[in-house]
């Protein structure tokens, strides 16, 4: 006959101890979760405070003509394309003197920047063929984005606008920038300078905010392509400066810069794109249209001077660069020597 084995009942003290441990565990877990939630709420509240002075706008995405096929094909990629406009009007309603496509690869920590010459000949919806710079004056950021999407096959749905005068404050906040400046450029910097001390020397010099903005405005040396190159140099210097500052300075910088920016980005999108700054190392690649790898010409159409090039080819080059990391220099274009017409620069004083 087998004996029935019975487990001894736990003592009242043992059962009470287990209950106390369970309650302590649940209490500790609850407190920890509450702390994380409160910290998250506080961090987000701080973020909202920092960007509180930023000018926010809403745009109707149904009017932007974003390339849906491009969106669908690269849906899994964490690549965000934005339009960046630099305007020269206190109300941000003038022509966009700087036009850039800025692409942020959030997963890889890469930023690509492509400037579009303001004199590029394009079709502006509702206004016919004219300079791309006019789109912003005709219909603000919304029409300017639609013009970029329709002419360059892009999928842009958001933008950032900075006024050139405000950009001077940003540059000064970073302590200025160092650039190689020719004597001819120094003369033009002083000619365009709106405030502050004139530049006294050429060569490798230190530029304050107004001087750097004046440098980026120069149009009488090298035409519009040289002008966009100078704008990219200024922005590249700022990009490098931003990586040099201590993370402890970020909140102050964000708070100071917020009033200078107008954007359609939501808070969540700003946080997501801003996270790319935590990647190390963070890379920046840049190029421009027109360039040496696409056939282009400068010519008068009517009374105005334009840059004219194959926008379909430019669209394909952009797609390969932004999504497949193919630089313009490796794109399969002809290597024919540009004609004299293609090499000409814009005459002084063209609109």
297/300 Cα distance (integer angstroms): 10
**Residue 96 DSSP label:** E
User: Residue 147 is encoded by which pair of tokens?
Assistant: 């013009």
Burial of 81 by CB count in 10 Å (0-12 exposed, 13-18 middle, 19+ buried)? buried
Question: Is 188 a member of any domain?
Answer: yes
pLDDT above 90: residue 186: yes
Peptide bond into 333 cis (omega under 30): no
Q: For residue range 150-176, what is the model confidence (pLDDT) as tens digits? A: 999 999 999 998 887 778 888 888 889
19/23 Cα distance (integer angstroms): 6
* Closest to 163 in 3D by CA, of 48, 257, 278: 257
CB 306 within 8 A of CB 120: yes
Q: Chain-wide mean pLDDT for the chain?
A: 80
User: Which pLDDT score, from 0 to 100, does residue 318 have?
Assistant: 94
User: Which pLDDT score, from 0 to 100, does residue 340 have?
Assistant: 47
pLDDT above 70: residue 73: yes
Helix (H, G, I), strand (E, B) or coil at 37: helix
Question: Is 12 a member of any domain?
Answer: no
Question: Is 332 a member of any domain?
Answer: yes
Give rounded-to-5 percent helix, strand, coil for the chain: 45, 20, 30
Question: Is 15 a member of any domain?
Answer: no
**Domain harbouring 286, CATH code:** 3.40.630.190
213/192 Cα distance (integer angstroms): 9
What's the whole-model pTM score? 0.74
Question: Is 137 a member of any domain?
Answer: yes
User: Which pLDDT score, from 0 to 100, does residue 166 have?
Assistant: 77
User: What total of structural domains would you count in the chain?
Assistant: 1
Question: Is 4 a member of any domain?
Answer: no
Burial of 15 by CB count in 10 Å (0-12 exposed, 13-18 middle, 19+ buried)? exposed
CA distances 69 to 66, 86, 147, 155, Å, are 9, 29, 17, 9
53/255 Cα distance (integer angstroms): 8
Q: For residue range 266-277, what is the model confidence (pLDDT) as tens digits? A: 888 887 877 776
CB 81 within 8 A of CB 152: no
User: Residue 137 is encoded by which pair of tokens?
Assistant: 């004056």
Q: For residue range 221-273, what is the model confidence (pLDDT) as tens digits? A: 887 778 888 888 888 888 777 777 776 677 777 777 778 888 998 888 887 87
User: Which pLDDT score, from 0 to 100, does residue 15 have?
Assistant: 64
134/126 Cα distance (integer angstroms): 12
Could you list the residue range(s) of the whole structural domain that residue 272 is in? 55-343
Q: Which residue has the higher pLDDT, 220 or 30?
A: 220
Question: Is 20 a member of any domain?
Answer: no
Question: Any residues with CB less than 8 A from the CB of 332 and at least 6 apart, and which?
Answer: none
Q: What is the pLDDT confidence band of residue 337, given thresholds at 50, 70 and 90?
A: very low
Question: Any residues with CB less than 8 A from the CB of 50 and at least 6 apart, and which?
Answer: 251, 254, 255, 258
Percent of the chain with pLDDT over 90: 31
Q: For residue range 104-142, what is the model confidence (pLDDT) as tens digits? A: 887 877 888 898 998 999 999 999 999 999 999 999 999
Question: Is 18 a member of any domain?
Answer: no
User: Residue 253 is encoded by which pair of tokens?
Assistant: 């910088």
Q: Are strands 110-116 and 283-289 parallel, antiparallel or unpaired?
A: parallel
User: Residue 136 is encoded by which pair of tokens?
Assistant: 């912003």
């Amino acid at each position: 006959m087998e004996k029935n084995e019975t487990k001894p009942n736990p003592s009242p003290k043992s059962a009470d101890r287990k209950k106390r441990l369970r309650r302590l565990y649940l209490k500790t877990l609850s407190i920890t979760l509450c702390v994380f939630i409160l910290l998250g709420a506080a961090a987000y509240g701080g973020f909202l405070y920092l960007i509180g002075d930023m000018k926010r706008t809403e745009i109707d995405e149904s009017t932007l003509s974003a390339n849906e096929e491009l969106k669908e094909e690269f849906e899994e990629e964490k690549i965000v394309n934005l339009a960046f406009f630099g305007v020269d009007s206190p109300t941000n309603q003038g022509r966009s003197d700087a036009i850039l496509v800025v692409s942020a690869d959030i997963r890889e920590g890469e930023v690509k920047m492509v400037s579009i010459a303001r004199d590029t000949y394009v079709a502006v919806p509702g206004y016919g063929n004219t300079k791309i710079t006019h789109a912003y004056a005709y219909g603000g950021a919304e029409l300017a984005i639609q013009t970029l999407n329709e002419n360059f096959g892009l999928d842009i749905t958001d933008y950032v606008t900075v006024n050139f005068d405000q950009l001077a404050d940003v540059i000064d906040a970073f302590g200025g920038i160092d650039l190689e400046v020719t004597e001819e450029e120094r003369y033009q910097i002083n000619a365009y300078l709106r405030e502050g001390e004139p530049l006294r020397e050429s060569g490798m010099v230190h530029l304050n905010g107004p001087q750097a903005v004046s440098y980026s405005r120069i149009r009488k040396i090298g035409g519009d392509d040289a002008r966009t190159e100078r704008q990219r140099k200024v922005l590249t210097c700022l990009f490098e400066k931003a990586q040099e500052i201590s993370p402890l300075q970020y909140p102050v910088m964000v708070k100071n810069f917020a009033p200078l920016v107008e954007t359609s980005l939501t808070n969540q999108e700003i946080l997501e794109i801003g996270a790319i700054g935590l990647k190390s190392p963070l890379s920046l690649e840049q190029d421009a249209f027109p360039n040496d790898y696409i056939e282009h010409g400068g010519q008068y159409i009517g009374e105005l001077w334009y840059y004219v090039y194959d926008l379909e080819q430019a669209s394909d080059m952009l797609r390969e660069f932004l999504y497949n990391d193919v630089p313009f220099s490796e794109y399969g274009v002809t290597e024919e020597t540009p004609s004299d017409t293609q090499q000409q620069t814009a005459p002084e004083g063209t609109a």
